[in-house]
Structures are given as C-alpha cells and as structure tokens.
Structure 1
Amino acid sequence: MSEPSTKILDHIVHLTPPGTVELASQQFRDLGFNVTPGGTHTGGLTANALVILADGSYLELISFTHPASHYPPTSPDRQKRDSNPWSHKHPGWIDYAFLGSSDPDVSIARIINERADLDRSGAAYDPEVDGGRVREDGKTLKWMITAPHEERKRGTLPFFCGDVTPREWRVPIDPPSNSKHPSGVLGIAHVRILTMTESLDAQSSQLTSVVGDPPVEHSSSGYTWSLETPHSGLGVLRPRLILSAPVDEDEEAYLAERGPGVYEVAFWVQPGGKEGTSATPYGKIVWQVKTT
C-alpha cells in the first residue's frame, strides 16, 4: 500500500485574544470572507470559526475561551491552558496544518521520522494524539493530530490533522455557498514562513523531510515548495510553501518580536476581486489575481 501524501495543505490557524471568535469572524467578513460557525474544542479551552475555500483548505479563526488568569494557578484547567502549544503565541497567523491520515494504522509521524533519519535533517514528530470538537449543531468531530516534537517548531513545521469522522463534518463544503467569498477568493496562493537567515538551510532540510519533495525554487533568501490541497485534482491552482529570511526592517522586527513562523498568507483571487495587500488586525494578507 502506498504511503499517504504529506504535502496536502489542510488549514491555516489565525489566533485572536480570548473570547473574540465572533469579533474575529466579523473582521474577516469585513475583509471579504464568508465565515462559517465552528464550535468549541474538546476540553473547552478554545473555540473557532472557519473560512472555507474552494480549493478544499480553510482558515481556522481561533481564540481561547478565557484568559489564563481565569483559571486558578494550580488547577488542572490552568495546566492544560498553559501547556497548549498556542498559549504563548502572539495574535495573528500562528500555525498551519497538512492533511493527516484517516487510517489509525498509518502513522504520519513514522513516515516523516523515517525520512528525516535518511535525510539527517533533524525533523522529528511525536506519535499521533486524539483531538476533536463539538459543532454548534451538537455533532461531535474526531481527528488525530501529529505535531513536531519540539514545541518551538510549531508554526514553522506544519502539524497534521487526520480525520476519524468524515472530513466534510469538520470542513462543511455543502452548501457550495460556504466557499464563495465577496472578495473573490478562490484558494491559498502561498503560505510564507519567516525564519532567521542563519537557520534557513537547516529549516529547509527539515521541511523537505516533511513535504517529501525537494524545493521547486531556491535562492540565497529562501526556498519554495509546491503543495497540494484537498481539491487539487479539480483544476484549482496549487499553493506554495515559502520559507524565507527577512528582507526589510519590518520583517526583522516581526521576527525579533514573535520568532520564526507564519508571516503572511496569500490568496488566489478571481479577476475583478481584491488586489494588493491587506491585514487582519494581527496578520498580513496578499491578494494574488488568478491569471490562468
């Protein structure tokens, strides 16, 4: 049996302050996105809403339900809150996920770790753990998460989300209007990861172990991989994963404040849609017009 692809972009995570999922949803509507209600994750620490795209990927608009100070310092809920990999992240683009395996007997962690051993890249993933959430309509979703071994790698290396329940429960593509947006957005054009210049080559080697393919472009300032999406075979343009060093003082300041991770997300837009750049209150957006 052939191994599953490890380069299918599943979703990108955008964090806002505690209790602000509804506010973030309105902010993204103001940017021209159609936002679909999500739900509360297992354990009740986080809640989300979704921006579903025609290429099958989506944006996850997430926030913690309460600030850390809401929980008594030694309580189990506070410990869970503090140990969440996103608990100390600044608001904005904080992480991205590739589509994992839906077969419990197929371990994405094993596949990547075996590649990394051969490549000697140093990439390492922990065994799969269970995850899930309850939708607003009461439907319970279940999935398996595969994440980098080192928490500091989250947002630079992707995590993987493999559905146990049907993916269309997690990503409701019906009705088709869920993935139609006033801005003209069709899908993801690129996800750009910012890292330090001195870490660029080592980080590239690790991402190659994860993606399973070498970069399609390489220069002194960065590397680019071609990814797939859940609907790649349906004529949609494929996204790119870009790893780059900062190119100006603003990017250097961003990197110094937040550390390596997702810096900007670009969207394919149909002709007549948005162009140029925009920003959420916390993250950069690029609108890229589809010309072919």
Structure 2
Amino acid sequence: MASPTTPLVDHIVILIPHSFLSAPPSWFADLFHFYPGGKHSDGLTENTLALLADGSYLEFIAFVPGVDPAKRAAHQWGAKKEGTVVDWAVTLPSSPEDQENQTEAQDGETKELKQEKTFREIQKKVQDAHTGIIYGDLRRGGRTRPDGTVLKWAVAFPKHEGDGSPVEPGTVPFWCLDVTPRYLRVPYREEGTTKHPTGIVGVAKVEVLPGDAKAVGSARGVYDVLLDKKDSEGSWELGSLDGEKVHSGGEVRLGSSDGSSRVEISFFTDDESLVGKTVGGKVDDEHTLTFHLVAASK
C-alpha cells in the first residue's frame, strides 16, 4: 500500500500532430485503445487518452490548428517536437471515498483538498533540499469532455530556484491533483477501457535523460525527496494507483544524454509475444515514436 505522501505516476504527456487525433495512422491506431479526451480550457490544445490498468494513462496532446504562434511559443510544451514524450506527471494516492467527496462549494470557490496540504508539505521538503529545483504553487486547470462533463484539477510545475525560470519539461515530474473526482478524468475501471492491442497494462520505466550534468545533479536531489531509492546508480521506485494488481512495479531511471534532453518510456505488457520488443512508427521525416515493452509478471 502506497504511503499517502509518496507520489504515484499519474500520466505521460506525448505531443503528436493534430492529424493523429482526427485521422490517426494505422500503426498508431494499432497500439492503443483510445479514450476520448477533449479541449483544454486555454483553447490551445486538445487530447486523446490511453488508459492503463495500473491507473495511469497516456495523454496524446496536440496543438489545435491555427493556434496563435506566440501563444504556442509561450506554452510549456510549445517548443517541443511532435512525436516525442514531452513531460510526465505525478499525483498522490486517494481513496474512492476521497474522490467522491471532491466537490465544489456553492459560492464557486473550490474546497481545499487533503492532497493540496500534502503537496505543500512536499513542496517545502524539495525547497529545503536546495537542489536548484523547486515546485511552484498549484494553479487551476481543466478541460471539457466530449459529453460535456467539465473536469477540473490543479497543477504545479518545477522551476529553477534562483530565477524562477521553468525547468526543462520532463527533467522532474510536474504535479496533477484532481479537484473534480479523478474517476471522471481517468475512468480506467470502466469495462474495456484498458484493453490494448499491445497488451500494455502500465508504466514500467520513465528514463529521464537531461541535457547537461548540472541538470542531472539537480534532478537526482528532487527524486531523492519524492521517491524511494531503488539503487545507487540513479534509479527510484515508481508506484501507480493499481500497479500492485497488474505488474511488478515501475521505476524512474536518471541518466545523461548526448546534449539534447529527452524522456523515454517503457511499458509493461501482458502479451508474452511482445515482451522485449519495441513498438511504434514514423511521425514525420525526422521523428519516430517508439516504446519498449517488458513483461508484466509480478
């Protein structure tokens, strides 16, 4: 059972061309069973989801056609290449009772969630560690599902301790805490929503490869605060809401790249014929989107 103060993987953010939402290429459609997403409240992006049996999910996000270039440039993922993992998020454990009680006050102001208090405690621990990275305060966000259901959440992103500038996305996770019940945003327990052609059931590894040695050192300090150490080589345990039911447990591994910061994802699969294989396809003339599959056996 996860500690109520230990972050769990919430979702992986993957930037795709908008055409992948309206007319996905066959290789992409053959990887996942997609769940409808929606347009975000800022009007700049929309998404589709792939819900996973361990309670996490993949967010395939795209900028809407005709978006103002200046607004895209100001977006935290605006400069990222389509067809890449651009970021990932953690959340905190919550019981079904907590989720059902996440309601809004009649005056329109959101009631404080238990998770927000816990987040502030973790936020202070990260700040006190003086790693060079801190977390900003929670800010509200949301989107509307195709069925009209309005989803609301709070997010907090990492920034540099000195000047408050944004940290390269994906170096350490951002936070996503629900205001409306999480099952509305991530209905992974609905029958059939997590059955994927590739047998993917959860996140096996988030491999973080910052672009310089200083970023590696700062990130290591943050992960030491957030997660339980798995080994001395730069690996930490990564839990998920229902991971104990479907796989042996995920990990975060921190390494160094050849100068360009990136994040690579491996997934657990229950399809034995795909264990050890890499799946994916071509996004454009320069980029391919691929994922490595490992056995989900416990």
| Same fold (TM > 0.5) | yes
- Which of 154, 158, 182 does residue 148 from structure 1 map onto? 158
Deviation at 1:113? 3.3
Deviation at 1:176? 2.1
Return 195-204 or 103-112, whichever deviates more.
103-112
CA contact (8 A) 1:25 1:35 kept: no
Residue 284 of structure 1: aligned partner: 290
Q: Name the CA shift for 1:19/1:112 in 2 (closer, same or farther; >3 Å).
A: farther
Deviation at 1:27? 4.3
Residue 270 of structure 1: aligned partner: 270
CA contact (8 A) 1:38 1:135 kept: yes
2:220 alignment partner, SS class: helix
1:179 alignment partner, SS class: coil
Deviation at 1:107? 4.5
Residue 260 of structure 1: aligned partner: 261
Give the count of matched residue pairs.
Answer: 265
Q: Name the CA shift for 1:291/1:6 in 2 (closer, same or farther; >3 Å).
A: closer
State yes or no: 1:89 paired with 2:99: no
Instruction: Give per-residue Cα distances to partners, 1:159-209, cap 9 Å, x unaligned.
Output: 111111111111122432100112111211111111246233332112223
Residue 206 of structure 1: aligned partner: 222
2:201 alignment partner, SS class: strand
**CA distance in 2: counterparts of 1:143 and 1:38, whole angstroms:** 15
Gaps of 5+ in 1: 72-77, 247-251
**CA distance in 2: counterparts of 1:90 and 1:139, whole angstroms:** 30
**CA distance in 1: counterparts of 2:25 and 2:41, whole angstroms:** 21
Deviation at 1:94? 0.4
Q: Name the CA shift for 1:82/1:197 in 2 (closer, same or farther; >3 Å).
A: closer
Deviation at 1:117? 3.6
- Which of 87, 90, 95 does residue 98 from structure 1 map onto? 90
Residue identity matched to 1:82? A
Percent sequence identity is 30
1:180 alignment partner, SS class: coil
State yes or no: 1:139 paired with 2:149: yes
Deviation at 1:217? 1.5
**CA distance in 2: counterparts of 1:143 and 1:224, whole angstroms:** 29
CA contact (8 A) 2:126 2:135 kept: no
Instruction: Give per-residue Cα distances to partners, 1:106-163, cap 9 Å, x unaligned.
Output: 2465333321243221221111111000001111100001111242332111111111
With normalisation by structure 2, the TM-score equals 0.80
Instruction: Give per-residue Cα distances to partners, 1:231-265, cap 9 Å, x unaligned.
Output: 1353543211111124xxxxx2xxx4xx3231x21
State yes or no: 1:7 paired with 2:7: yes
**CA distance in 1: counterparts of 2:127 and 2:36, whole angstroms:** 41
CA contact (8 A) 1:142 1:164 kept: yes
Q: Name the CA shift for 1:202/1:82 in 2 (closer, same or farther; >3 Å).
A: closer
**CA distance in 1: counterparts of 2:66 and 2:256, whole angstroms:** 33
Q: Name the CA shift for 1:124/1:40 in 2 (closer, same or farther; >3 Å).
A: same
**CA distance in 2: counterparts of 1:50 and 1:7, whole angstroms:** 21
Deviation at 1:216? 1.2
Q: Name the CA shift for 1:153/1:109 in 2 (closer, same or farther; >3 Å).
A: farther
Q: Name the CA shift for 1:283/1:151 in 2 (closer, same or farther; >3 Å).
A: farther
- Which of 167, 170, 180 does residue 165 from structure 1 map onto? 180
With normalisation by structure 1, the TM-score equals 0.81
